[in-house]
Amino acid sequence: MKALHFGAGNIGRGFIGKLLADSGVEVIFADVNEAVINLLKTNRTYGVKIVGDSINTIEQVNNVSGVNSTDEAAIIALFNEVDLVTTAVGPNVLKIIAGTLAKALEARLASGNCKPLNIIACENMVRGTTFLKEQVFTHLNPAVKNQIEQLIGFVDSAVDRIVPPVKPDANDPLLVTVEEFSEWIVDKTQFKGTVPDIKGMEQTDNLMAFVERKLFTLNTGHAVTSYYGKSKGYRFVKESIEDAEVKAFVKSVMQESGAVLIKRYGFDPQAHAAYIEKILKRFANPFLVDDVDRVGREPLRKLSYNDRLIKPLRGTLEYGLPNDNLIRAIAVALCYRNENDPQAVELAKSIADNGVAETVKKYTELQDESVIERIVAAYNAQ
């Protein structure tokens, strides 16, 4: 089996690429980072260092290669050869690669290739592959869209493994460091043809429960750890979560989002409490060096309507559940400042130019004036 994976970054190399290669799949990484692509082409292998309480080992990933994702002719040719396409490029990049994917799918179908092909976006977003499909479809005519509906599976997924960037290793510049835990869950109802047999890729017909459980627990807690930690002068996730005040606040936010998940999906409250505890432990992994600015990156995305802060808040409003901590968490996120992050710069400028209430309305798309007032009050109290 052959797979084309967009995004040879942390999750691409440290998680999805590794699982595919471990299952005997030949993986070609498509990326815009020429240096990484050249190394992949030359070395054809890289190491993944797995770290945790009971593990510190390097596993080798073999049978890999690279291609520049801006080389449309090469991508189009590869689309005719592969059985699976995956991405881990970041939600904002899906729109950018959609045009190339559309051309490549059109060419595959025009060549008479009738084999089913599945595409899985492995991003932190609710139904990211469905979003990618919508973007791809904006480039295609109805006849091609109809053919795609028959042969191409756009499969949503949930991905979980903490993989911070590491300083390049002199012996293996492609080496990535990952935590031991990993979870990749795919919507089995969306595949076309046979579901590929990938060890570590779990199938479900109830994906939304898993996507929201992960995004509104791990990523909600992670974002709050990062934003609150940064406000207290911390640089790393581990030192933030070791601050008792940060930990208590993060846990209280996760408990509020957890109440929404329990109500919506019928999760067992005790099992969900254990899930929260396990995540708090993962944040404190002493072997991972994870910068709060990586975890807090792109705050406008994190403050958007369907993401990790606003969607759980909307859930509390829907079910009449407590939300004081989520409101404060949103206020803390609005306080995030990072001159190296264009979205953090835009956030600060919007607050300075238009005020907090207008900024909240614009980026979160919340409309309930009383909720916006509570966020503004929490912001002013920070």
Ligand X SMILES: O=P(O)(O)OC[C@@H](O)[C@@H](O)[C@H](O)[C@H](O)CO
> By CB under 6 A, which span of 44-52, 129-137, 292-300, 359-367 interacts with ligand X?
292-300
Q: Is 77 annotated as a binding residue?
A: no
The rounded distance, in Å, linking the Cα atoms of 101 and 139 is 9
Q: Under 8 Å CB-to-CB from 203, ≥6 apart: which residues?
A: 185, 186, 187, 188, 195
Interacting residues with ligand X between 148 and 167 (CB under 6 A): 160-162
- Tell the residue number behind the tokens 């934003």, with chain if given: 227
Q: Which is nearer to ligand NAD, 279 or 356 (CB)?
A: 279
Q: Using an 8 Å Cβ cutoff, are 253 and 287 in contact?
A: no
How many C-beta neighbours within 10 Å does residue 64 have?
Answer: 25
How many C-beta neighbours within 10 Å does residue 149 have?
Answer: 13
Closest CA to 313 of 301, 300, 327: 327
Q: Is 301 annotated as a binding residue?
A: no
Interacting residues with ligand X between 112 and 131 (CB under 6 A): 124
Exactly one of 295, 333, 366, 378 binds ligand X (CB under 6 A); which one?
295
Specify the amino acid at residue 168.
P
Q: Is 7 annotated as a binding residue?
A: yes
Closest approach, Cβ 125 to ligand NAD, in A, equals 7
Closest approach, Cβ 149 to ligand X, in A, equals 29
Look at residue 219 and give the partner it binds from ligand X, ligand NAD, none, a contact being a CB closer than 5 to 8 Å depending on partner kind.
ligand X
Using alpha carbons, list the distances in angstroms from residue 18 to 12, 78, 166, 168, 274.
8, 20, 17, 18, 28
Q: Which is nearer to ligand NAD, 198 or 378 (CB)?
A: 198
The token pair that represents 358 in the structure block: 């207008």
For residue 42, how many C-alpha atoms fall within 13 Å in the half-sphere facing its CB?
A: 9
> By CB under 6 A, which span of 156-164, 183-191, 310-318, 351-359 interacts with ligand NAD?
156-164
Q: Which is nearer to ligand X, 340 or 367 (CB)?
A: 340
Q: Is 174 annotated as a binding residue?
A: no
Q: Which is nearer to ligand X, 89 or 321 (CB)?
A: 89
Is 9 near ligand NAD (CB under 6 A)?
A: yes
Q: Using an 8 Å Cβ cutoff, are 7 and 170 in contact?
A: no
Strands of the sheet with 55-62, listed across from one edge:
55-62, 45-52, 176-179
Is 163 near ligand NAD (CB under 6 A)?
A: yes
The rounded distance, in Å, linking the Cα atoms of 192 and 118 is 6
Q: Is 222 annotated as a binding residue?
A: no
Look at residue 222 and give the partner it binds from ligand NAD, ligand X, none, a contact being a CB closer than 5 to 8 Å depending on partner kind.
ligand X
Closest approach, Cβ 27 to ligand NAD, in A, equals 14
Q: Which is nearer to ligand X, 109 or 335 (CB)?
A: 335
Is 219 near ligand X (CB under 6 A)?
A: yes
Count of residues near ligand X by CB under 6 A? 10
Is 124 near ligand NAD (CB under 6 A)?
A: yes
Q: Using an 8 Å Cβ cutoff, are 180 and 209 in contact?
A: no
Q: Which is nearer to ligand NAD, 132 or 360 (CB)?
A: 132
Burial 71-101 (b: 16+ CB within 10 A, else e): eeeebbebbbebbbbbbbbbbebbeebbebb
Is 162 near ligand NAD (CB under 6 A)?
A: yes
Q: Under 8 Å CB-to-CB from 298, ≥6 apart: which residues?
A: 90, 92, 341, 343
Closest approach, Cβ 69 to ligand NAD, in A, equals 4
Q: Is 272 annotated as a binding residue?
A: no
Look at residue 89 and give the partner it binds from ligand X, ligand NAD, none, a contact being a CB closer than 5 to 8 Å depending on partner kind.
ligand NAD
Exactly one of 17, 66, 90, 221 binds ligand NAD (CB under 6 A); which one?
90
Q: Which is nearer to ligand NAD, 209 or 317 (CB)?
A: 209
The rounded distance, in Å, linking the Cα atoms of 244 and 253 is 14
Closest approach, Cβ 88 to ligand X, in A, equals 9
Site residues (vs ligand NAD, CB under 6 A): 6-12, 30-33, 69, 88-91, 93, 96-97, 123-124, 159-163
* Residue stretches of the annotated binding site: 3-14
